Amino acid sequence: MYVEEIGIDGAFVFTPRKHGDERGIFFELFKSTTVRDVVGSAFRTAQVNCSVSKAGALRGIHFADVPPGQAKFVTCLTGAVFDVVVDLRCGSPTFGQWRSVVLDDSSRRCVYLAEGLGHGFMALQDDSAVTYLCSSEYDPDREHTVYPYDPQLSIEWPADLDPCLSSRDLSAPTLTEARRSGLLPAHPAAAAGPRRPAG
């Protein structure tokens, strides 16, 4: 797999090598040793989710309480989506910043995002199927969302589609509101606090 950093600590794009012949193609969608070598720890798959969305469907920005958090390995099996990673970790150098990548059934790219990062996407085609490997099981009491059209985030969602959001995402707090209410996770370095001098 070809691995690319996208400018937010803990977020990577994996592009598999495709092998084709007259039958079609074969590729490795996920390889635990490759992910472990890139991210520095093993990825434990606790749950696998799949969503199928019409064009314009917008899901996110979602994140889970840390700890335990929920790392994700995301790909689009059919169709195409505009996939977004948002740094929601207080104390992070890139707090409030976002990066995007198009995931589709041609490039077969995958996105890995660490615990504490927010995730969302907009479907670019009807019947776009997105699969998520998740490091922890879904727990509604630990799951949260940030308003995807928050002006502070200024995510440049595709403008040529009519967005369709759930009522939960439409009424989600802004980044500032989520921070004030204590919903947002801390960046690992910030959570650890300052180091005490030896001796």
Question: Which residues are catalytically annotated?
Answer: 62, 132
Q: Please tell me the distance from the alpha carbon of residue 75 to that of residue 133, in angstroms, as a whole number.
A: 9
Of 94, 45, 40, 41, nearest to 72 by C-alpha is 45
| CB count in 10 Å sphere of residue 74 | 22
How deeply is 172 buried, as exposed, middle or buried, from its count of CB atoms within 10 A (0-12, 13-18, 19+)? buried
Token pair of 19 as six digits: 């092998």
